[in-house]
Structure 1
Amino acid sequence: MHLLAVDDEPAILQLIELLVQFNGEHTVTAAECAVDALDVLAQPDAEPIDCFLVDIQMPGTDGIELCKILRSRHDHKKTPILMLTAMSDKSYIDRAFSAGATDYITKPIDIDDLLGRIKLIEEIVFSRKKQNQQPDLSNTGASETDAPLALHEPFHVRDINGMIDYLALENYISLMARKKLFGSAVFAFSIRDIEGLFRQTSRFEYECLVADVAEAITLGLSEHPHLISYAGNGTFVCIVEDGWQPDSEALADKVNIAIHTLGLYFNDGRPMSVKVSAGDVIRLVWKSGDSTIDALSAAHQSAEKESRRYAKDLENFWDDKDIVSR
């Protein structure tokens, strides 16, 4: 694995190089600012970067802006970005994750913590490289959007404010747990009859459907600070940070109105009937460690349960109507 470390402190860069090189078969390129980092990437013979380690406070373009720049590049939309910074204020953490950071470590560096995070990133990089070794579609006339996509598979919805990938959401909530999540809450939305919609759509249509629903959820939460991630299976997990305790039923209605306003269609012009159900709101006050990750899972399951309940109630309604008509 090859890493690019970006920090304006030479001592930190030297420490990272020593730690990484002596604790795995990895290599490191060092850059002292964002401009230097982009210059490294621009070199025609540059080794591909598997992971970025980025400081926030740097002269000129700071680490958060660099993170945005990296995420705007096609070749680094999925590359892990680990923020390694002295900035421990929550506002910086929120901005970093919103900009596309995968994880966040505060200085002074805990060596075991850093090595543990790099080990996890190594596993992610290895898994992605293995996936990329699947048969090449370029010689078959197929496009990337023709590749199989499992219904349960999470993917990152890009270019929507507040959307981050699911791994980043887990890292964010774990970090916030260590800093005491006073007033925070997690809940989820699940698309009704997602199995039926998945069967009827191409990969491109399905990804557009997920993106449109994500946009509607963002509109529904626009008055409150939030982060959202698509967790797969038609379910979106949301975190709100300002002590707000939403009415899940009223919020689902608001999101469904936004979906209707957007107007969703299949590629052949047929209107697409899409609605969501919202699960229980789970407060994160006093939760810590694994219990915060458990809260994400509970929110996910609650939304899917509510979606199934709605479908069952609808089925029973039509069964009752059929009995009456006879």
Structure 2
Amino acid sequence: MTKKSLQEDSWGMGKKMNEDIAKTILVVDDNESNIDMLLAILKEYDVIPSTSGEDALALIKEESIDLVLLDILMPGMDGYTVCQRLKNQPETQNIPVIFITAKSDEESIEKAYDLGGADYVTKPFKPKELLARVKVQLKLQDVLRELNFLATRDSLTGIYNRRKFFQLAEQMYAEASDDLYALMIDIDHFKRLNDKYGHHTGDIALKTITTAISQTLPESSIFGRMGGEEFAVLLKAGDETRAMEIASLLQQKVCEIPINTDGGSTIYCTISSGMACKKGDSTSLDSLLRQADSALYKAKEGGRNRSIFRDV
């Protein structure tokens, strides 16, 4: 698994940043002696050097970058332009940029901040100052990621909360063709489980089951908790047969997982699900989810521990 996928995966089972992984810093400077100096100062980090703005932008598309140290005065594309392009792209706009420059006049510094720079360091470098500024920006990024995690994830299970699910699902729905499927999932007899074994065991069951589902879904899926024991999934599958195979696999994985109760016993849970495809009378995400929910209702009426595809 890559560092990027450790930060956030598509199906929404939130993984916080692994602090044991070295942060990756992109150093952009056309002067190779400056790069050598920065490599020595930043030896505790994974540093990727670049000698031009064009190369830096290409590298950022391929690598997961935590911070950019960016020279302002470079031949061809200068640092201001590189920063502006980074801040104009949703996938790179949150990467902090520290300008490294020999220019110390107020106009240059103001422009650096106006273009989205997080900080600046003047040449010649003062190693301790540079390292301190780098650490501050990386720490700030960790805090922002943590806040984003708390704002977008269900506090118990770690998967997407309802608001974040719909935010991502609306975009996925708008971009997808008729290979998009909605899956509504309900844990069977969950109230009975809570009443018999207690809410702590119920919480363990929720976390265990959502982990199993998250690990089984295709990586491009969006998985969120709608409330209580009900969940929603948006996923892509080649056809109805493949989509139902995925639903059946989820059922199988969940029913095989032992859940330990507070009393020391082991119990097993099952799930019911309803599925619908983006076609026919599905004119919106809400419509698609309602169709899947209707199929879920039929699955529960039919005895639970099953998945039903909603016929259009």
What is the TM-score normalised by the length of structure 2? 0.46
What is the TM-score normalised by the length of structure 1? 0.45
* Greater radius of gyration (CA): 2
Which structure has greater strand proportion?
Answer: 2
